[in-house]
């Protein structure tokens, strides 16, 4: 019995060790040992059958039993060796996959900054070209070069230079949208690709300049390079792309050329590759500077355009701002109003217009010919949506002691739709102090009956684009007829602007419009000429 028990004991110990090791094995090793265990179980079953059939084990010696167990153990060792080899093979495949991913990353990204490199940039630029063609929107490349980077490397070492590049990459990414691309072409050459800019080239150039100025400001801030504080400057060359047929390399070269032009001009400079675009940007910057001093130097003037009724009797006028520039001469509002809105100067200009108009209403009170005239003033969206706008209007009216019902504020459709509830509240507050409200350029925006019904308006002004061709365009006549009918149904006054011919006037009159404004009755003119015009009537 001792001979039999000893092999069983060995078998039991072997099984325990296999189970213990099994918990530590990989999936592939577990599968392999499962086969081994199955073989072992089969051998045990054979032994049991042998015992039952022959009435005892045929292994009468320990040596006979070992003759079977030893080959089995050898088999286990061989299987284990195969499992180890397979596991090493799997690890090798995994390492090769990681290595391949690393190689791929190095192929498309700069090793120092981790930014897309030239290869990936050109690929994204190719896709951006296709997107620009479909959308019609402009895009741009900004080529950025750090001034005196080589000197930093030579004096402090490459560790400091590499740190500066990484910090620069971080600042560049903070200056653009997530949809834009920041790339590093090697060394201190960075490129920013902007997409989805305006469809209008000059407006797109303005957007580029805003981003470029933001980048220049960010890169001019001090850097902490380990124990050293470093201040640097940079230059940017910009090239705009749309559906112009240039290649990716050509566009990159254009931005590079513009960058070298910027370096020639000095530090912290942005230059465009397109000279006409650069001229437009330069003009805009110059105009912005001149606009700042225009109010102080009293270069703004109000011109007045007469408004008449069906009997050609004057009942009011519209005050229109003009900029009388000492060198440029008379500057049209189309050239500076949008710039004033973008820079915030429109608030100061709007306040000046309001005060000047109220001062004129006060002056008109002294003359029986003009004391009942209603004066219309255009209000910008930024001015109207100020939280204290109503208080400002009240203060000006009180200061000049005028009749508030003689002041009419002209609003545009687009500004009324910005936060309708607040807009309505402001309009109601203005109506409470008897200010008249007119909807300017009606028909060119949303023209929603829903907001017309809700907003406390006094008048609709038919845009001149419908009046211009009313004599020969049936669609324009239908639109004008509809606007007039709509105004009448809502108990609103209606006035047509841009009336230049008698035929236009008669068509409008026949459709129920009885108030007019346009060159047929008088062009915008200084107050002295306007007073003369009134006397002639």
| pLDDT tens figures, 80-103 | 555 555 566 566 555 655 555 556
Cα(161)–Cα(153) distance, integer angstroms: 5
pLDDT tens-digit map of 458-495: 999 999 999 999 999 999 999 999 999 999 999 999 99
Segment 45-54 shows an average pLDDT of 61
pLDDT tens-digit map of 410-444: 998 878 777 788 899 999 999 999 999 999 877 76
Per-residue model confidence (pLDDT) at position 448: 63
Question: Does 37 lie in the same domain as 160?
Answer: no
Task: Point out the domain boundary residue: 78, 108, 138.
Answer: 108
Identify the domain containing residue 356 by its residue range.
Answer: 292-536
Beta bridge mates, 142: 192, 238
Segment 128-142 shows an average pLDDT of 90
Cα(191)–Cα(369) distance, integer angstroms: 66
For a pLDDT cut of 70, what percent of the chain falls above it?
78
Question: Does 204 lie in the same domain as 127?
Answer: yes
Question: Does 327 lie in the same domain as 261?
Answer: no
Asked whether the predicted pLDDT for residue 388 surpasses 50, the reply is yes
* Confidence bin at 253 (pLDDT 50/70/90): confident
Question: Residue 113 falls within a domain, yes or no?
Answer: no
Q: How many C-alpha atoms does 285 have within 13 Å on its Cβ side?
A: 12
Task: Point out the domain boundary residue: 52, 85, 108.
Answer: 108
Question: Residue 439 falls within a domain, yes or no?
Answer: yes
Question: Does 513 lie in the same domain as 403?
Answer: yes
Task: Point out the domain boundary residue: 79, 108, 137.
Answer: 108
C-alpha 120: how far from chain center: 23
**What's the domain count of the chain?**
3
Per-residue model confidence (pLDDT) at position 66: 47
Question: Residue 280 falls within a domain, yes or no?
Answer: no
Q: What pTM does this model have?
A: 0.60
Question: Residue 278 falls within a domain, yes or no?
Answer: no
Question: Does 298 lie in the same domain as 421?
Answer: yes
Site of tokens 């050609």: 312
Residues 377/410, Cβ–Cβ less than 8 Å: yes
């Amino acid at each position: 019995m001792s001979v039999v028990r000893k092999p069983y004991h060995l078998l039991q110990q072997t099984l325990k060790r296999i189970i213990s090791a099994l918990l530590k094995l990989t999936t592939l090793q577990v599968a392999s040992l499962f086969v081994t265990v199955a073989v072992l179980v089969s051998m045990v079953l054979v032994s049991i059958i042998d015992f039952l059939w022959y009435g005892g084990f045929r292994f009468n010696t320990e040596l006979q039993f070992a003759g079977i167990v030893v080959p089995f153990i050898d088999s286990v060792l061989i299987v284990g060796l195969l499992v180890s080899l397979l596991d090493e093979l799997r690890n090798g495949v995994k390492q090769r996959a990681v290595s391949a991913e690393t190689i791929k990353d190095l192929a498309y990204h700069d090793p120092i900054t981790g930014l897309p490199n030239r290869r990936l940039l050109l690929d994204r630029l190719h896709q951006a070209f296709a997107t620009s063609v479909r959308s019609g929107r402009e895009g741009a490349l900004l080529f950025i070069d750090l001034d005196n980077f080589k000197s930093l490397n030579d004096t402090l070492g490459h560790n400091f230079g590499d740190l500066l590049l990484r910090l620069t990459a971080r600042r560049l990414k903070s200056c653009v949208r997530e949809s834009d691309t920041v790339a590093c072409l090697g060394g201190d050459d960075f490129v920013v690709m902007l997409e989805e800019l305006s469809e209008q080239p000059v407006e797109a150039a303005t957007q580029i300049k805003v981003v470029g100025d933001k980048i220049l400001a960010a890169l001019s801030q001090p850097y902490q390079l380990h124990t050293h504080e470093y201040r640097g400057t940079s230059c940017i060359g910009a090239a705009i792309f749309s559906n112009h047929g240039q290649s990716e390399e050509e566009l990159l070269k254009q931005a590079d050329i513009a960058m070298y032009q910027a370096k020639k001009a000095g530090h912290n400079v942005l230059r465009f590759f397109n000279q006409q675009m650069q001229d437009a940007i330069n003009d805009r910057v110059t105009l912005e500077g001149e606009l700042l001093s225009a109010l102080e130097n009293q270069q703004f003037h109000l011109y007045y355009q007469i408004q008449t009724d069906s009997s050609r009797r004057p009942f009011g006028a519209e005050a229109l701002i003009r900029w009388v520039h000492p060198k440029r001469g008379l500057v049209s509002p189309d050239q500076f109003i949008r710039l004033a809105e973008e820079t915030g100067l429109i608030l100061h200009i709007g306040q000046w217009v309001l005060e000047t108009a109220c001062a004129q209403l006060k002056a008109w009170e002294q003359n029986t010919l003009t004391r009942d005239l209603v004066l219309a003033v255009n209000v910008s969206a930024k001015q109207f949506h100020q939280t204290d706008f109503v208080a400002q209007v009240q203060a000006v009216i009180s200061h000049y002691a005028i009749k508030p019902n003689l002041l009419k504020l002209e609003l545009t459709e687009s500004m009324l739709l910005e936060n309708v509830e607040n807009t309505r509240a402001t309009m109601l507050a203005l109506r409470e102090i008897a200010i008249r409200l007119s909807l300017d350029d009606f028909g060119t925006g949303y023209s929603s009956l829903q907001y017309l019904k809700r907003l406390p308006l006094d008048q609709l002004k038919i845009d001149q684009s419908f009046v211009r061709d009313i004599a020969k365009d049936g669609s324009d006549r239908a639109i004008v007829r509809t606007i007039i009918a709509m105004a009448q149904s809502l108990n609103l006054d209606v006035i047509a602007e841009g009336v230049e011919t008698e035929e236009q006037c008669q068509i409008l009159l026949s459709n129920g419009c009885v108030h007019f404004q346009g060159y047929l009755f008088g062009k915008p003119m200084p107050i002295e000429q306007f007073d003369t015009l009134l006397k002639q009537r």
